[in-house]
Structure 1
Amino acid sequence: MEPAPALRIVAAEDSYLIREGLRALLATQDDIDLVGTAASLPEVLAVVAEHRPDVLVTDVRMPPGQGDEGIRAAEELRAGHPETGVVVLSQYVEPDWALRLFDPTAAGRAYLLKERLGDIRQLRQAIRSVAAGGSMLDPRVVEALVRARTARERSPLTRLAPGERDVLELMAAGLSNAAIAEGLVLSERAVEKRITAVLTKLDLGPDDPGVHRRVRAVLMYLAGTAGGGS
């Protein structure tokens, strides 16, 4: 049986040293092929259009504005190249950026802090995950979202019944339906019904596959905000 073809990657980073370090890191992986690099948002869009990579690994801040270019690239690619997964790397814990990245779906998106670059396993996991349509969120961003949740005054979470909030809280802790059922002393069918109610009350429509609706529901729970931050 022939091995699966290598994943084709474009790396975007305006710092030459970090870009070359990322190139060297990816070069150690036989199943990853770096097909192009970029140092600004316009270059990212041009290189992706030329190479049609499986995954874009991008810094969040680049020229021309040194602001949120990595997030904007992900937003533009969702419309123009939806088949390309995006891993955003940032040295900043910015919950609002993560919420924008995962809106309107978490599919094919990951947000990691640059400190994770020292562990190729985590970067590989993120690349593999988004290439397969999955998602990944840095634990430190989750912690920031938990803190931000208490500062939000208005939230669709107020629509949830106490039992539905209990289920959502355990979803945020990463528990499976079976584990939630055991923890709340419910049947799995009852848990599934509560999860359906949660997703409906949070206005997470059926057009997004269930696993990604769950990710977005958890993000909304952690941030205490509806569908993204400002």
Structure 2
Amino acid sequence: MRVVVAEDSAVLRDGLVALLGRRGHEVVAAVADGDALVAEITRLAASDALPDVVVADIRMPPGFSDEGLRAALELRTRHPGLGVLLFSQYVETRYASRLLAGGAAGVGYLLKDRVAEVSDFMDALARVAAGETVLDPEVVSQLLGASRSDDGLLRLTPREREVLGLMAEGRSNGAIAELVHLSYGAVEKNVASIFTKLELAPDAADHRRVLAVLRYLGA
């Protein structure tokens, strides 16, 4: 993969660059703030050389608030196919919800202190680059917010909410079946019931799984 890293900590930034390089990936740029990230992606796009995925911290100079997330939102608006993996110590709900609502495919959000294995990080990065959605369960929990008042969601059973929560983490039906100790067919029935209760009719133009997750996140 071709990767751009945006991280204000020089130690962590260099560590990510070295880690990715050892695993055969090309880091085409490594920057320390949100403005530099947008500028670098703009430069690469002008050369028809967009990376496969961006790894970005959220709190970066100058304000150390949500500069990285706002940069990611801007980049996804300009380049919808660009994979973005947010890698932070913090959950920022406002812009994160907007980022996911703009198209959840190819978006990830991991918390630094909850990634136990390097292999987990690398797997998440590959999945985001491939167009999947990868969300830390804690991120999902904090993004729930307004979704609790959604009438359709209130009709879901506890099991259906559990299944939908795992869908929001980017889990496949097969992975959900293993995690909740149900048969694959039972998970399919729960998913079908979720679609029905959320009034998501089959439509070739929409991806009901993504729409259901966006409802769950209050998007």
TM-score in same-fold range (> 0.5): yes
Aligned to 1:197: 196
Q: Deviations over 1:122-147 (max 9, x none)?
A: 221121111111011113323445xx
- Give the TM-score normalised by the residue count of structure 1: 0.72
Partner-residue secondary structure (3-state), 2:105: coil
Aligned to 1:33: 26
Indicate conservation of the 8 Å contact 1:116/1:122, yes or no: no
CA RMSD of aligned residues (A): 3.4
Shift of 1:35: 0.6
Percent sequence identity over matched residues? Answer: 36
Instruction: State which of 4, 9, 26 in structure 1 corresponds to 2:3.
Output: 9
Structure 1, unaligned stretches of length 5 or more?
1-6, 221-225
Partner Cα distance (2:118, 2:138) in 1? 18
Aligned to 1:216: 214
Aligned to 2:86: 88
Shift of 1:19: 0.9
Aligned to 1:128: 126
Partner-residue secondary structure (3-state), 1:200: coil
Q: Deviations over 1:16-53 (max 9, x none)?
A: 112111111112111x2111111122210111122311
Aligned to 1:174: 166
Partner Cα distance (1:161, 1:115) in 2? 32
Shift of 1:69: 1.5
Tell me if 1:18 matches 2:12.
Answer: yes
Shift of 1:81: 1.1
Partner Cα distance (2:166, 2:2) in 1? 30
Q: Deviations over 1:167-200 (max 9, x none)?
A: 64132353839959x78x9895x65653333343
Residue type of the partner of 1:211?
Answer: R
Indicate conservation of the 8 Å contact 1:167/1:195, yes or no: no
Partner Cα distance (1:119, 1:72) in 2? 28
Q: Which structure has the bigger radius of gyration?
A: 1
Partner-residue secondary structure (3-state), 2:101: coil
Aligned to 1:74: 72
Partner Cα distance (2:116, 2:186) in 1? 42
Partner Cα distance (1:187, 1:13) in 2? 39
Query: Per the alignment, do residues 127 and 153 of structure 1 end up closer, same or farther by CA in structure 2, a change over 3 Å counting?
Result: closer
Aligned to 1:223: none
